[in-house]
Structure 1
Amino acid sequence: MSHTPSPAAAAVEVGTKDLQGPGVVTCPNPKMSLWSNHPRVFIDVATTGEGKCPYCGTVYRLQAGAKVHAH
């Protein structure tokens, strides 16, 4: 089965408190409707400042000026 990302996918700005593990966010995120769920994926936003979900096309952007600290 193939899934094509929606061309009208939303962009979500995330802060450091939204990150899990080594600078990643999960999609679907807790604010998404239950009907739109897909398998959970971990998206790296720390490396380049943004990442895109391969299922729904949602773009996650790290807030300007946010600093990701390694443990």
Structure 2
Amino acid sequence: MTDQNAAITITPHDLPLHCSGPQNETWNGHPRVFLPIQSNSTIECPYCGAVYQLVGEAKGHH
């Protein structure tokens, strides 16, 4: 069992950030949601509550 509140670490290479439910299959996941993350910060998906943490600078991305 995984901790649902644990942040998923991403890097600038992973941008633009989108979530379609980290624990869902593609066919039954929530809609793909693009998340406007800032450099060296975190953001929570409004659909599933997954928390993403960007390590680095979001140059040219929203």
> Same fold per TM (> 0.5)?
yes
Partner of 2:58: 68
Structure 2: tracts of 5 or more residues without a match: none
Amino acid at match of 1:53: C
Q: How does 1:1-71 map to 2 (within 5 A)?
A: 8-20=4-16, 25-28=17-20, 32-34=23-25, 37-46=29-38, 49-63=41-55, 66-70=56-60
Aligned residues: 58
The TM-score with structure 2 as length reference comes to 0.69
Structure 1: tracts of 5 or more residues without a match: 1-7
- Bigger Rg, which one: 1
- CA RMSD in angstroms comes to 2.8
Runs of 4+ in 1 over 6 A off after TM superposition: none
The structure carrying a bigger strand percent of its residues is 1
Q: Give the fraction of aligned pairs with identical amino acids, expressed as a percent.
A: 35
Contact 1:14/1:61 (<8 A) preserved:
yes
